Amino acid sequence: MSPVAIDMFNKTFLRNFLGELPLAAELDWTLRQKNRARKDHFNLGRLQKSLPGAVAKAAAFARSAQPGKKILFFATLHYWIEQSAYISLLLAGLGHKVTLMTLPYSEWHKRMDKLTQRQRNFHTRDALAALNPLVTHVSLLDLKPASVLPAQLRADVEEISLWDAQYTLMREEVNVNDSSDRAVYDLRLERNTFAALAALRWMQVNQPEVVLVPNGLILEMGIVFRVARYLGIPATTFEFNDQREQIWLAQNSSIMRMDTDYLVKARCGLPITDAMYERLADLENARRGAKVWGKSKRLWQYVSSQGGEETRKSLGLDHRPVVMLAANVLGDSLTLGRNIFAKSMTEWMTRTVQFFANRPEVQLVIRVHPGEKLVPKARSMAQVVREALPNLPAHIHLIGALDKVNTYDLIEIADLGLAYTTTVGLETAMNGLPVIVCGDTHYRKRGFTIDPDSWDEYFAALEKVLGDLPAHRLSQEQIAAAWNYGYRYFFEYPRPFPWRLMNFWDDLNVWPLEKALGAEGMAEFGDTYRFLVGEPFAWKD
């Protein structure tokens, strides 16, 4: 062991030893750390300074509010805790009795020494102290866990811990015989088990009426959601898209599952107007043109449309039919747990390209997701393709994340689309093309896609469609259904909400707490506030 490694080991050993000593962490925090500028990544200093004024604003509304529901709000990681503190105040201002339960982790995939972890716990306690008496704050780390974890929750913990490892490693293959992979999985299993036991006992004793949790799929956020559902407690999960003043909400399911059944039932039977059609077309044209749209700064493409024929020429495509396979980013939480007949998206990609290797009569174009450039540590789908076919046939074209090709130009020249869960599959159907969907995505089985449930059905569908491509182009009714669903998904599924997670402090400047609780905020966001605490979804035409 090198001298540097020995020094690090000794420091960690000492900090773990001090973290175990009664009152050692408390004394160190009180005498040395409390009033120092924090150099730790886990820093709630800005929140701590802003809360007293925010609490005073919320209290003025709470005094005249009708009594509401008993809510447990769980948050971990410092940025979720910042936003959740303000959402808790907002709900308290509406009359709800809120308990904010925090888990002061900054690194979900790294084991932190016990002294540092306890000091983060004290920092969180001090930062959130001003919430009282409007909001009760408890730390998950301070709770007494249940003694026994029911079998169903044990299975949940194992499933979520595997997803956590995939999410952390940004690949689907987790090798428990590999020491580094095993370390990530074991840490997540340990932390998730404790979270399940602690949350279970707290909910059994305190019996909240609603549990509110971000994401609801991975990490301890997924665990707390599963515990609530095990106990039959209504739970709301939420996430954010690229637009300001919008939130994704799900009741009694993880928002990352994108369950839109209720949306389809309530809205897709209604016609869309010309104005609705034009609004959706405007969004699609912005994406095609690599332009931002609405209240967003996100680019969905990094190169504007060059036109289908120009793209065909630049890729060296000829007159043979074109099949476009649109990939997802490996490890994205929108893809976890979405397998139907394939064990993984990697297996689906592998078997698909091997199938087309023997079909030179068609041209396969594989579009690696442009989002891969934002997560360089993720295993690229391009690597998956090259491992499946080390010598790529001339009729198979691989377009990397950084390649200057517009996905919408590919849709224009394609005859068939293949998708796992990416929204590109929906947009391909909106252009009248047959789409075979192989992952459990929200637009599957909505009447405008081909949806195999087994490998046999998948390969049979490929043979059938490739045998007569013109006959499988979508009917006008199917295209209309795809546009109807697209409008509902892009414009009605997101709900208005004042503060996103990212750029939270900027949003708070636009919508300070008193404005969000005032007449303007209630007119704009009041329905969403009610949906957050489990009230039924309603619609405004």
The pLDDT tens digits for 481-519 are 999 999 999 999 999 999 999 899 999 999 999 999 999
- Write down the pLDDT at residue 428: 97
Full set of structural domains in the chain with CATH: 145-207+221-232 (no CATH), 265-489 (3.40.50.2000)
Closest CA to 465 of 416, 418, 411: 416
Confidence of residue 100 (pLDDT cuts 50, 70, 90): very high
Q: How does pLDDT run across 180-227, given as a tens digit for each residue?
A: 999 999 999 999 999 999 999 999 999 999 999 999 999 999 999 999
More confident call, 378 vs 260: 260
Q: How does pLDDT run across 219-256, given as a tens digit for each residue?
A: 999 999 999 999 999 999 999 998 999 999 999 999 99
- Write down the pLDDT at residue 172: 87
- Write down the pLDDT at residue 6: 46
Average pLDDT, the chain: 91
Closest CA to 193 of 255, 234, 148: 148
Work out the angle at residue 381's Cα, subtended by the Cα atoms of residues 380 and 382, and round it to the nearest 5 degrees: 85
- Write down the pLDDT at residue 9: 44
Q: How many residues does the chain have?
A: 541
- Write down the pLDDT at residue 5: 46
Backbone phi and psi for residue 101, each to the nearest 5 degrees, phi listed first: -100, 120
Q: What is the mean pLDDT of residues 32-44?
A: 72
Q: Has residue 161 got a pLDDT over 60?
A: yes
Q: Has residue 272 got a pLDDT over 60?
A: yes
Confidence of residue 359 (pLDDT cuts 50, 70, 90): very high
Q: By three-state DSSP, how is residue 249 classified?
A: strand
- Write down the pLDDT at residue 21: 54
Q: Has residue 26 got a pLDDT over 80?
A: no
Q: How does pLDDT run across 282-340, given as a tens digit for each residue?
A: 999 999 888 888 888 777 777 888 999 999 999 999 999 999 999 988 767 778 899 99
Q: How far apart are CA 64 and CA 70, in angstroms?
A: 17
Confidence of residue 11 (pLDDT cuts 50, 70, 90): low
Confidence of residue 20 (pLDDT cuts 50, 70, 90): low
Confidence of residue 267 (pLDDT cuts 50, 70, 90): very high
- Write down the pLDDT at residue 40: 73
Q: Has residue 421 got a pLDDT over 70?
A: yes
Q: Has residue 103 got a pLDDT over 70?
A: yes
- Write down the pLDDT at residue 2: 55
More confident call, 470 vs 34: 470
Q: How far is CA 215 from CA 72, 161, 258, 286, 316, in A?
A: 15, 15, 11, 28, 43
Low-confidence winner among 16-25, 43-52, 180-189, 355-364 (lowest mean pLDDT): 16-25
- Write down the pLDDT at residue 330: 76
Q: What string of DSSP letters covers 191-248?
A: HHHHHHHHHHHHHHHH--SEEEEESSSSHHHHHHHHHHHHTT--EEEEE--SSTTEEE
Enter the tokens of residue 4: 């540097």
